Chain A
Amino acid sequence: MDVAMFLAGFLVSGLRSCTPLFYVLLGETLTERVGVVNLGVEGQMLIGAFFGFATTVWTGNPWLGMVAGAAAGMLLSAVHGLLCVTLKANFFASGVALWMLGGGLSAFFGINLVGQKIEGFPPIPWGPFAHIPVVGQALAQLTPTVLLSLFVGPAAGFWLYRTRPGLHWRAVGESAEAARTMGIVPERVKWQGILTGGFLSGFGGASLSVDYTRNWIEWMTAGRGLIAVGLVIVARWNPYLALPSAFLFGATEALTLRLQSMGVKVSPYLLSTLPYLVCLVVLVYGYWRARQRGGMPRDLAAAFAHTE
């Protein structure tokens, strides 16, 4: 029973810590599927976290906060669309600009929010399930955004692989010029992909501040957005694999927290490097694998190799 408790606890805390990252990872997956890389998800997350938290403080309603955060992320991603699709600027440079803009604006306006606290979501009423041993205790720790994350990935996967608009997205990501000859307007699809990614990364940022940490600190995402961009490659641009890939990060973070609470004599600063190092290792593995088997959308491969 103790082992079961430990595993269930580990699973749930891993899920909880990977949820914000998951939404960003899914959003970036969809954006990259239309052939656009957006490093600005870090800034979109921050602006989403800020607006989400501020709205929750102001209205007392975490759901309104989530919506506000998602909308803010989407608005910021429109700058990326303007620069990269309309003006054909470099993805990476535009992403860095967005990252600074989102981070700068959220730190600027968020200075008064530091130290404030919110309630977060009310517990989900599980009814009779709450009384099942182990399962009940695990369920009690799930929040609405965690629960939602279990369904959003498969839904996006179904949409991408099984519907006509999804086919158009994949066609544009593979080759914008070939898609154009099929009668698709690649620019329009790219805009859709960028705005969807912006919405999801803003939502992810909001889930971090409104649901996970329930506070606001400047630059609180600490590279989660950039890790998401790396993990997209590990998830091989597949929405179904977004959650397992994000869980890799969540499990690492849960493990470091657990090790610290168990009193392991390693500096917390060194332990905090683990998620980045794990991401680095799987990124290298992802690249190595993609080189062996392919699977990177063609236009995207050119963007990542800077040969476009």
Chain B
Amino acid sequence: MTNRPWLRETAWAIGTALLFLALCAGFFLLLGKHPLELIWQVALGAFGDKYSATETLVKTTPILFCALAAAVPARLGLLSVGQSGQFYLGAFVGTFFVLRFPAATPAFIALPAMLLCAGAGGAAWGLVPGFLRARVGVNETLTTLLFNYVGSLLVDWAVYGPWRDPNNLGWPASPPFPEAAKLPSYLGSRLHAGLFIAIALAVGLHVLLTRTRWGLMLRVMKSNRKVAESAGMRYGLHVVAVMAMGGALAGLAGICETSAIQGRLQSGVAANYGITGFLVAWMAGQHLIKILPLALVMGAIISASDALQLFAELPSAIAVVMQAMLFLSVLGIAGWRKRKGV
């Protein structure tokens, strides 16, 4: 078995999944529910019929963007946890421009412009922590976390204040997006083009990071900054660049969710997608292709938790608890392997 690394990796992945299922089963038992029945309900709730399957993909989309947003800075050894703030900024800046488009703007102009603006907004929210890291050495994990709260409050300010649509009868939200600024949906469901944009970006970025000179430079700088700098690479510049790129990716998640799912800017639109994305990137070892299936798993958990709320009358926080248990399983197994050297 030792000379077949993929077999060994698969065995460990199954081990991690089993530990996660055992933790879930333990938690369900603690609640006095039948664990196998609940786990079956989770599977049904995620993939049971066309509706559940498309809803799983709908939830997968922002997670995928946010996971890419966490993975790109991590390629330079940076731990950005600011995906949710960047998500909000993307939604915020994107909405700002969408509400100002001339009425007759056709979709082929409106949609790219909207995505571009949202990307820029998210990028700004990644750029500042990147700059502070590059120039002053401020730990980017702390600054991005603080920026999350500011980003979320900024959207609250907009939808409770100047952008509030009086036609919403007390419901705090911006006016609805014009049809031209709504991403196309498919299969008569909420599944939208954002998913394909995210997959294309994952593949494109994977090629960029593994097959180009720049990707190689990032690897050199991550493994040894001093050597890289003495070879003329400008570490600080690349820190700012990857942080801004990460921010832009999370910003896209924000505008896709706002445009295709909500149809207007609302408070709390990022839900827990940001932190879930961070978690997915970590579990995938920051590998952009491995992120794809793992984002689907997380999308399934979140989508199934909606079903659990109905079926087992469990609070919606069950999704966060299950994600935390998955993350703990991954960290625990990885640590155990490192400790034992297997």
**Interface 0/1 of A66-104, CB less than 8 Å to B:** 000000000000010011001111101110111011011
Which of B150-207 touch A at CB < 8 Å?
Answer: 150, 153-154, 156-157, 160-161
Q: In the bound complex, do residue A101 and residue B136 qualify as a contact, i.e. CB atoms below 8 Å apart?
A: no
Q: How many residues of B contact A (CB 8 A)?
A: 48
B113 at the interface (CB under 8 A from A): no
Size band of the A side of the interface?
Answer: 35 or more
Q: Inside 8 A of B146's CB, which chain A residues have their CB?
A: 223, 226-227, 230, 276, 279-280, 283
Q: Which A residues are in CB contact (< 8 Å) with B142?
A: 226, 229-230, 233, 283
- Indicate whether B228 reaches chain A with its CB closer than 8 angstroms: no
Q: Provide the residues of chain B in CB contact with A97, threshold 8 Å.
A: 279, 324, 327-328, 331
**Provided the pairs A104-B317, A267-B161 are in contact, do residues A273 and B324 lie with their beta carbons within 8 angstroms?**
no
Partner of A269, one of B161, B332, B335: B161
Docked Cα-Cα span, A269 to B323, in Å, equals 30
Contact call B143/A96, Cβ cutoff below 8 A: no
Across-interface contacts of B220 in A (CB, < 8 A)? none
Indicate if the CB atoms of A284 and B136 lie closer than 8 Å: yes
- The residue from A88, A273, A307 contacting B154, defined by CB atoms under 8 A apart: A273
Determine if A272 is an interface residue (Cβ-Cβ < 8 Å).
Answer: yes
Interfacial chain A residues near B147, Cβ < 8 Å: 276, 280
Most buried by A among B138, B147, B336: B138
Instruction: Type the 1/0 row for A143-165, where 1 means its CB is closer than 8 Å to any CB of B.
Output: 00000000000000000000000
Segment at the interface with A among B38-46, B50-58, B74-82, B244-252: B74-82
Chain B binding surface SS class: helix
Complex Cα distance, B273 from A184, in Å, reads 43
Interface of A is mostly: helix
B339–A280 contact, CB under 8 A?
Answer: no
Q: Which of A87, A101, A223, A226 contacts B336 (CB 8 A)?
A: A87
Question: B213 within 8 Å of A by Cβ?
Answer: no
A101 touches B156 (CB 8 A): no
Instruction: List B residues at the A interface (Cβ < 8 Å).
Output: 77-79, 81, 132, 136-139, 141-143, 145-150, 153-154, 156-157, 160-161, 225, 275, 278-279, 282, 314-315, 317-321, 323-325, 327-328, 331-332, 334-336, 338-339
